[in-house]
A = this chain, B = another copy of it.
Amino acid sequence: MAKRELITIPARHGKAAFVKKGQRVKVINTHGTQVVDTWAFNADNLREFMSMEHLRVWVGHYRAKAGDSLITNVRRPILKWLEDTSPGVHDTMLAACDRYRYQLLGCKTYHRNCNDNMWEAMIEAGYHPSETPSPLNLWQNTPVEPDGTISQRPTASKRGDYVLFRAEMDAVVCFSACPQDILPINSKNPKSAHFQII
Q: Which residues in A have some Cβ–Cβ distance to B below 8 Å?
A: 51-54, 56-57, 60-63, 73-76, 93-95, 98, 100-101, 104, 130-132, 134, 144, 146-150
- Of B130, B134, B146, which one neighbours A130 at CB under 8 angstroms? B130
In the bound assembly, the distance between CA atoms of A134 and B134 in angstroms comes to: 10
Can you name 8 A-B residue pairings with CB atoms under 8 Å?
A51-B95, A53-B94, A54-B95, A62-B62, A62-B93, A62-B150, A63-B148, A144-B144
Known: A62-B148, A150-B62. A95 touches B57 (CB 8 A): yes
Contacts of A53 in B (CB 8 A): 52-53, 93-95, 134
In the complex, the chain B residue whose C-beta lies closest to that of A101 is B75
The smallest C-beta distance from A142 to any residue of chain B, in angstroms, reads 9
A146 touches B146 (CB 8 A): yes
Q: Does A93 contact B150, Cβ atoms closer than 8 Å?
A: no
Q: Whole-angstrom distance between the alpha carbons of A52 and B57 in the complex?
A: 15
Residues of chain B within 8 A (CB-CB) of A101 are 57, 75
Q: How far is the CB of A115 from chain B (nearest CB, A)?
A: 9
Q: Which residues of B contact A54 (CB under 8 A)?
A: 95
Residues of chain B lying within 8 A (CB to CB) of residue A95: 51, 53-54, 56-57, 73
Docked Cα-Cα span, A130 to B129, in Å, equals 13
Q: Told that A53-B94, A61-B147, A131-B131 touch, could you supply 12 new A-B pairs with CB distance under 8 A?
A: A51-B95, A53-B53, A56-B93, A56-B150, A60-B150, A61-B148, A62-B150, A73-B95, A75-B98, A75-B101, A144-B144, A146-B146
